[in-house]
Structure 1
Amino acid sequence: MSESLSTDVLIVGGGVAGLWLNARLRRLGYSTLLVDKGVLGGGQSVKSQGIIHGGTKYALSGALTGASEAIADMPRRWREALAGSGELDLSGVRLLSDAHYLWSPGTLTGNLTSFFASKAVRSRVGQVKGGELPPALQNPRFKGKVYRLSELVLDVPSLIQRLAELSGPGLLKAERIEPLRENGELTGLIVDGRSIRAQRIVLTAGAGNAELLSALGLAQPAMQKRPLHMVIVKAPTLKPLYAHCLGGGSKPRITVTSHPAADGEWVWYLGGDLAEAGGVARDEASQIAAAKKELAELVPWIDLSAAKWATLRIDRAEPAQSALARPDNAFLAEQGRLLVGWPTKLALSPDFADRVEAALIRDGIQPQPLTPLPELPRPAITGPFWKGLV
């Protein structure tokens, strides 16, 4: 039996939310230990498009909803961290694009024209033309309009790498996680037979939260999954593009991010409406066919005859909402020493950490003098989402 350990905060789940929280709490002087069953960032984090958006796409329905306002401050906080002057030092994390774009393939419909004219949107959006256009759209056949958003796109594996560095020795690879109860109270977890006591236990394991809650004998908070069926395309003819292509509805018709492969080619990662319910219902071949049709209509000047295609299914794990709606903020529920949460969006990881920090302060949880951690088996770090697919 391994020696028992004690820490101020025990975190389960090594995606961006858990790693960000871990680094933030360490900076505040808490001792922390983050436990993960897989590879760091290997769940939803690496399969995200890496967009740190400020909610402009949520305002497409014409109203600045709770989602767009809650998330509006996130790009600033991430930029400060990337510059090394924010709440975490993320200098060295690879920035794929300093902006994300809104792209209308043809003439803008009336409601979109008024959307861009509204004061709330004007402060975040500016039209670009000519040489300022994203490289993939710099073609004489392109007839649409493009607007630059004050949002950014990150290389998620390099973000995970940096957050893991900021975790110091406090990372532990786990096979089996069980509750540690003393006098009927949850006081920690038993990880592969080793007891770990903590003042607070935070579950931030994305889709894994449901299994962990079940192991703890808890049915709440309930979780929902909103599936996506993303498309990956790799070709020597692709150039960088980071954009929401607007359709007629309130969701982007297609959302494109671009990722550099080791061989010098670009990988496009396609989400948006293409990947939502209609895409989820399609099998891989049908979904690839739908993506080919969309790109043939939207960027017909790009020769994709030598392209490699694949799809990737993702379950976005979130607190249960009525009618599978999208939650507007990071979510945190509490029960004794246990805190359970979902950031709901990569960009909202700082908001999630705010909520945990506020709960610790409210409950008077102070850093305790603790024995330094022994050397522990560390989880590996995720590779890129397209690895082994294209």
Structure 2
Amino acid sequence: MPIQFDLDPQVEAAVRRTTELIRDVVLPVEELYRGNAHALPEAVRRELQDAAKKAEIFAPHVGQEYGGLGLDMRDRAALFEAAGHSLFGPLALNCAAPDEGNMHLLEVVGSAEQRERYLQPLALGTIRSCFAMTEPAPGAGSDPGALSTTARRTSSGWVINGRKWFITGAQGAGFAIVMARTSGEPGSPGGATMFLVDADAPGFTNVRAIETLDESMFGGHCELLFEDVHVGDDAVLGAVDQGFDYAQVRLGPARTTHCMRWLGLARRAADLAAERAGERRAFGSALGELGMVQQLIADNEIDIEASRALILKACWELDSGARAGRITSIAKTFVAEAVGRVIDRSLQIHGALGISEDAPLARMYREIRAFRIYDGPSETHRWSVARRAVRVAAHPEGTR
């Protein structure tokens, strides 16, 4: 299957509608709340999503039978990038993390009953969700194998015990996909199982919302406690002890869609910088006529185009049915750092205005820094890429 750069006319039209929605509806809301999703009322979230539904661009990643557009990864790329132009754009289209990744996981792994109970309302935006894997040290973080939350089998199902933290979107979520150890010990390569746990289950406590550098994730980043949480066998997502394998079903596409969304924010920052360079005069000329400023603008364009190309390569592998672990690690690492560079340069071109709240660049700068940590820090992805490269060099007959 060749990599194609042109868009289907229907997708192209959806991208145009997304661009218009972001410009006319979403950006004014972002400006009103200064990009702080923690202060965004639930009613406003629903208003944004109703506008996206009216524009027929809602849930572009979900199958049509669940009310979405059913786009593959490649077709999502341009639309997600357009949505990412605003910090609230993905929320409006119902393709924000963690719900977008959870929808994909439920669509691929969930039973018919689980899809009806959890995926359908999630795809319609009537409920939200979270993905509870990360734990305080020494539990699962960059190393999922350190998973310490346990699920013990009983005569009526399972009992879950453990603590999770930095769980995005947990505040107000209707349910959590919880990763728990059902066999082995922390450090074992397998033995994890995913469970669907309703937020009102006895023993499931949202301990606190953690104050963080970023503020644009609706539902925040929370610490969760599971104390003797009883669930039935019907709460098991997929098969017992296969949770780490299912995590790859979710994480590869989720890394890539994160890149798509944040690239939209980088495009916005670069456009603002180019406009500023054309309008602002200093030292007898427009900033854009100064060589050092021109280099910053050119490097922005180079980083954006290189990021987009890597995203499309990752989409091509994923759409081909490959696990795409190597390319999604490369894309996530490069794009996370490239987007940070673009926003940093754009802020620099704006000077003092850039670090003020009179322009959106300061909030962009705060938001994008976390991207180099979540979904695997850059160092973990580099280790993974290097390990593969060394293995291939030692065994040239193998594959990457």
Task: Give the TM interval when normalised to the shorter protein.
Answer: under 0.3
Q: Which has the higher contact order (CA 8 A, sep 6+)?
A: 1
TM-score normalised by L of structure 2 = 0.23
Larger strand proportion of the pair: 1
